Structure formats: C-alpha cells, structure tokens
Structure 1
Amino acid sequence: MGTYFTIILGLIYLIGAFIIPKWRKNKVDKDWKFFEVLWFSICFICYVIFLEIRLPSYFFLIPSLFLTIFLVSYFREKRRLVNGLLFNLFLAVGMSYLGFLVVRTVNPLLVVMAGATGIFLLLLLLIGLYALLVFLYWNAIVVLRKEGHSFANLLTLLLAIGLTALLIFSYYSTSILPQWALTLFGIFPAILLYFSVVFYNFLTISVIYQFNQPRYNQDFIIVLGSGLIDGKTVPPLLGNRINKAIQFYQAQKAATQRAPKIIMSGGKGDDEHLAEGAAMKAYALEKGIPEQDILVEANSKNTLENMKFSKEIIEQSVGSTAYRAIFTTNNFHLFRAGMFAKMANLNANGVGAKTAFYFLPNAFLREFIAIVVMRKRRHMIICGLIVLAMIALTLFDYFYVGPVS
C-alpha cells in the first residue's frame, strides 16, 4: 500500500507542477515559483502524514499547531512583524519533527532530504559568514558604481566592514585579553546576534508578504510616490510602481469590465518643480489610462501621509468606509508601507513592483533600519538588558574566576 500511495502522490505532484506555470500566465503576477514551492510543500506534508498514520502516531499535530497559529495570525492581519517570528517558529519545530521522523522511519526519501539539508547547514556553518562578507563587498561595489556614493548606498559596505572588524578582533582577542574582558566585549556579538534574529524575522515576513494576491474587485489602487528626477521627471523606480498599478488596472478591467480608480500619491518636495502626484498622473496618461480614472493626492511628504491623505480621498469619493483598496510600491518597501497603511487605519494591502537584484540587499537593510527606528524603544530595552547581563557575567568572571591574563 505504501508503494502505491507514493506512486500516486508522485503522479499528482507532477501533474500539478506541470499545470501551475500555465495557470499563472493568466494572472497579474505571472511568477509561478512560489506556487511550485507551495504545491511541493502540500504534497510533502500529505506524504509525511501518511507515514505517521502507518506507524501509527500523530506527532505531526505539533508542527501543524504552529503552522495553524501562523496562518490564523497572518490572515487576520498580514501587516504585523510578529508573523515572521511565528513562521520561523513553525520552521524550527517542523525541521525538528522531520529529524525525529527520519530516525523513527528510516524512510529513503526523508533520509536523502535530511542528508541534503545537513550538508547545506554544515556548509553554512563553515563558510556562511565568509560567503556573506564576499557577497556584501561585491554588492557594495555594484551599488556604488550604479547608484552613486550617497550614505544610503553605503549600508552593505558599512556592514561588511563592521563584520570584518569583528572577525579580526575575535581571532586575536583570545590571545591578548583576559577572560573577563572577553566576556565584556561579548556585548557586541550578542547585540549583533539579537539584531540578526530580528532581521531574519523581518526578511521572512517581507518575502511572504510579496505573494499577496488581491482579487479583481478593487475600487482604488494607491501608487506611492518616491521622488522625481530634476524635480519633474518620473524615475525608473517610481515608474515601476506606476506600471504595476497599470498592470493590475488593466487585468481587473479585462476580467470584470470594472476599472478601479488610480490614486497618484505624492506631494511637492523642496527641490521639485511640481507635485509627484501630478508627474505620476502625466506618466499614466502617456500609458493610456483615461483621465477620469486617475485621482491625484499632492500634499503628502512621506509614506504615512501617503496613506492618510489617500484614505481621505477614498472616503470622500465613496462617501463611506465601505471600499476595497490596494497600494503599489517597490517590493523591498512593500511590508513597511503595509505597516504605515495599518497605522493610518487604511484597509489596504500591497502588491510589489520588481527591483533590480543588486539594489535589494542595500534597500532591505535600509527598510530594516527604518523599522528598527519605528520600534526603537523596544529594541533599546532589549539591548540594555543584554548589556546588563554581559556586565554581570564580566563581574562574575573578574571577582569569582579571577583576572587571569
């Protein structure tokens, strides 16, 4: 029976894997890779449950509980950072469970997957940090060459230099510093580890949020402004946001014969000749969008104001709070923009426009720093507790272990 089930499930998986790319061709976002991974995960979970039932045991209910907690939290409110933590808890529990199942069943498929995962984790442990450093230096060079030498473009370079200095210090410090001093300087890697975990949770939910798939029943699409070239021209980064909105506009109109209104949101900066919203409207008109389907919000100075003022336009247009809306921005900015929409009590989730790969590491670091600043009190408290704990350990080493040099 086990062999027949495996063959049938394998055939079902192959059929689904073949159909998914064809199905995605009719969607606004034609990317099919996420759905291939999702389909594989569903089939794999079915296979694991089958193995457990044959034992018989029901330990799969433990990771299932963590997955359920994540899904309930995510679909109740997608724009929360805690969702990244919940998903990573599910992954940790799920991987531990699969390791336990491999030992119990010695299933060939699970053994191969566990072996491949083990090799990957071993390589990550041995060369992961060094590979990261090489990547950061390479990325910094590319960004500086293509985007200029502004401070915002130096983030990957600064991170690479900081990690290099930490590695060099860690290598030589054990031979020149006493134990209590090593414990004291452990403050820096401890805080770095904390922010690494926070960044990983942020990156996880940012990636998951990319796959938001709004229905073709929207009343409004908000396009977030991002600055103009020479104070008057829409740059490629902003053009991608507008193009994403136009893509959804045309797809909904074709599917339902009902076009949403596009709100171009962006005020006039000190160095700009006209409001971003006006320049964005002109761009959309050139792309063939009818003027009656374009609204302009020209007073906002930041993303939070984009959301607040666009919300006011929406509610004035419909005369109530009963509306359906989405917003478009670049993919790296998508999750933080969603957080601002939540802060503005705007019932809207986003769809992200693609960004050049070389730009993403620097951009995600910038977004992460902005989110840390948004929650700075919480992070300052946790970092303060880390410092106090390390100082206490230092005092213990000095007075009870002894200042051995």
Structure 2
Amino acid sequence: MKTLLNRMRWSGRIALLLAAGWSTLAPNAPAQADEPAPKRERRDAEAEYSEGSFGMERLFVPRWRLTDGPQVRSAFRDVVKDVVAATVSIQCDGKQSALGGIISPDGWIVTKATPLCGKLTVELADGRKLPATTVAESGQHDLALLKVDATNLPSLDLNAANGSPKVGSWLASTGHSKDPVAVGVVSVPPRVIPSQAGVLGVQIDEVEARIVQVFPDTAAEEAGVEPEDLIVEVNGKKVASREKLKEVIASFNPGDEVELVIDRSGEEVKLHATLTGDFPGLPMGRSEFQNNLGGKLSVRRFGFPLAFQHDTVLRPADCGGPVVDLDGHVVGFNIARAGRTESYALPAEAVQGVLKELMKEHLMVKKHSPEAEAAEKLEIK
C-alpha cells in the first residue's frame, strides 16, 4: 500500500490506479457471502450497466468508479489512519449533521457551526457517544467550538502541514471509516469567498418594516413570523424602515440564524429565523441547477474570509471534519459543499487563529473559573 501511495506522487499514479479499478470491478465478479445489501445492489447495477461492448464500458464508466470509487479511497487508508482516530461525528437530535476534529485530549472539538441544533451528541472513532456543549461560535468563519466530558482523547496536530496545499495536490477528507469519506484535488488556492444575501421570505410594507405577507416554506414561516408584525430589530440592529430591514438581512449569509425583535399588536416578541438562500417559487438558474445535479449543497456555502477550493464530492453532513494531504498532515477543515465539483476548506492555520480567539473571548469570562483554568492549559498542537 505504501508503495502505491508513493507512486501516486508522480504523474502516472492515477492512471495505474484507475486501471486497477476497472479490473477489480469487473462486472462478472462473484458476490461475497457476507457482502452488504447496498454494496451488492450497487455491484449488480454496475454489472447490468456494463454489459455492452468494451469500448462503451470505458466511455461511460460512472464517476464513482474513478476518482471517488472504493478502490481509489482505499489507497489513502494509511494516509488518514492517524487522523481518523481524532475525527468525530456530530449528531443533532440523533441525526448526523456534521463531522469534526478533536483539537485537545481534554475533549475540545472544532466543527461547522450552522448545522448544529437541538441536542448535540459526539460519536468518537471508538464508538463512544458523548453529550456535547457548544462553547463558542464564529459566525464569520462558520466554526463552532464544542466540549465533551472526556480525557486522553487522540487529537489533531494542526502545526504539521507546511502552509496550504498547492493547486493539483491530492486531498483526503476523513470520517469514521478506515478509508476517507472522499478524495479530491486542490483546484483553487486560498481566497476570499464572497457572501450571498440571506433570504427571510416575506413581503414588507413600502415604507416601514411591517410584514405584509409571509411566504410558505421560508425562514420567516418556520420562525413564526405573522402578517402585520413590525420588525424592530435584527440581531440587535434597529430597522426603522423597509430599506434598512432589507439591508440588514442581506448582510447575513444563508444558514445564519438571526434574532428578530417584533412588535406584535404592542407586545414585544422575539423569534429566531435561519435564513435561506433561495426564494420559494422562483425558477432555479442554469448554474444553480447544474450545481445541484451532484447532490445536496451546504446551506451556508458563501462568505468565508479565506478558503481553498477542491473538487471533492462531499455530502453537507460530511463537512466540518479534517482534510489531509498525502503525508497525512491536516491542511484544513471542510466548511462547505458549494457546487457539483466544488467544496471549500478553511486552511488549518486560519482555523488555529479562530480557535484561539474563541477561547480568549468566550472561555475566560471569569478569571478564576474552572473554564478559564481549562482554557489556559489548552494548547492546540
């Protein structure tokens, strides 16, 4: 295996691997007695698909058998071995919502913030499930710092990588399996990812910030906004007019949660709305339609101060976890599935800076509190 990985450092490595993938996935390969049903169904479907001529087989091989197939991912098994031990699954009310990475043996974990809701549970690589608490969040970077009650946990070394990976470099995104959840190649170096305006989903008065209509299946409807409500504040910002409300809402990204202070018939009501990126009923643009062909995208996939782009095909629930290079060094954390072949990752160095600020601002509230003492001892490797 190590020999194969070494070969992959040269230009001919992928051609050899893909050729091996075609031969090992021959359509007439016998089924294993203990083969899982989903795997067997996929193999059978592949066999049916490949009954044509040799040339057609090579022309129309499904993409998952190439760069995202099990044979390709298994080649990275030794690369991700150590990092897998420090990768966790974040569950919200029992449903996997994100991946994360342990940054300290004392149970400090970093993950993507926007998917977090309800009762949080962290599943460790050894199978243990522990309740988790959100200690701090960075809305700008969409990162959250979680804490579980545990010690002597395997943790990530965020200092091992020498800067951000170069364009063309291979990456592996870790999960709980011995193989990475997906692999891909760096396509664009670190850059600012522009913001996209969030959508509340209401029609408002021509002058004031009063609700005329609440559209179905929107952030406003889910939050409980009603017609005739007068929005007074959004996240502490006064909105005395229609234009001010539009300006403030547009300053947030899809996936951001905002607090609305509403005047409802003279009574103050506080609601929380998670903004969306699309307005229900409007036709999907061509670019957006093509991006969605590859599967679901992250709700918050825009507005990052610094991120590098890679072509790894991820599920939104697989974001938040570590990304490693061919040397097994953590080079970043997946932060969004943004397009059909477009995913974003925050560089490890940038994540370190954010975590230090979160600890400084949110953990040291009381100078001599247990939380403060724990924060003083916390060192990100």
Greater strand proportion: 2
Q: Which has the larger radius of gyration?
A: 1
TM-score (norm 2): 0.26
Greater helix proportion: 1
